[in-house]
């Protein structure tokens, strides 16, 4: 197995946008050679800058749409995202849900090997997404997102059950988990439950000491 993934979703937090995004990326870059692979899912507005500066940190888009170059006002077109440095993407996050057809169409447009992390609210959705063969599936119970209790504590079975369900459909799909993940104990528990990394946001983006949080996240790996 490759190193576990720590995927930080910058969302549109003030503490992770514009110049603040650059500071956060620099902090992540200082841990890029550690025991986990660092991934930053940044705003489309920050994609080009982030991709040009984040040494050792893989930069992903937070969303992409299955549209081409043309009359698609307000959509996030993949070709331009790749040209601006996107090295992967999230799709179907709880805060930006799409249907399976959207995910399938997007996957068909992207180059082979381009990482796609499809988010799932539960085991059933994860199983359905697995039939499309994204690179990753991240299970995130929406009621725990942004909360103080990690999914690995509140509902560890959803992590292990998702791993089992996804692997039964497609053993090549890697499973992540998220929602409430805050510290190294949460990450270690996620790995113990069969996940290959975590997807988190506010635990890093709202931290008063980002360096300390990042160091703690990988401390038990």
Please say whether the beta carbons of 92 and 147 come within 8 A: no
Active site residue 63: no
Please say whether the beta carbons of 120 and 139 come within 8 A: yes
Options 31, 93, 125, 196, the catalytic residue? 93
Active site residue 93: yes
Q: Residue 111 burial by CB count (10 A; 0-12/13-18/19+): exposed, middle or buried?
A: exposed
Q: Helices in the chain by DSSP H: which ranges?
A: 19-29, 47-53, 78-83, 100-109, 123-130, 151-154, 156-169, 184-192, 202-205, 210-217
| 173: CB partners within 8 A, 6+ apart | 130, 133, 134, 135, 136, 137, 166, 167
Options 58, 125, 140, 196, the catalytic residue? 140
The whole-angstrom separation of Cα 8 and Cα 204 is 7
Please say whether the beta carbons of 88 and 60 come within 8 A: yes
Active site residues: 93, 140
């Amino acid at each position: 197995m490759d190193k576990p993934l720590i995927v930080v979703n910058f969302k549109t937090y003030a503490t992770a946008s514009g110049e603040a995004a650059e500071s956060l990326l620099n902090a992540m870059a200082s841990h890029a050679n550690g025991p986990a692979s660092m991934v930053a899912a940044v705003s489309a507005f920050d994609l080009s800058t982030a991709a040009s500066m984040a040494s050792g940190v893989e930069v992903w888009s937070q969303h992409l749409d299955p549209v081409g170059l043309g009359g698609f006002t307000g959509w996030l077109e993949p070709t331009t995202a790749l040209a601006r440095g996107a090295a992967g993407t999230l799709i179907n996050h709880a805060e930006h849900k799409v249907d399976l057809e959207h995910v399938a169409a997007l996957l068909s447009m992207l180059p082979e090997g381009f990482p796609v992390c499809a988010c799932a609210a539960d085991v059933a959705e994860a199983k359905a997404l697995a039939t499309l063969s994204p690179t990753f599936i991240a299970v995130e119970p929406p009621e725990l997102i942004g909360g103080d209790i990690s999914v690995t504590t509140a509902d560890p079975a959803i992590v292990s059950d998702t791993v089992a369900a996804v692997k039964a459909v497609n053993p090549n799909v890697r499973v992540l988990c998220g929602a409430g993940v805050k510290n190294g104990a949460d990450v270690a528990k996620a790995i113990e439950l069969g996940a290959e990394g975590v997807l988190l946001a506010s635990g890093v983006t709202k931290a008063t000491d980002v360096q300390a949080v990042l160091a703690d996240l990988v401390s038990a790996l």
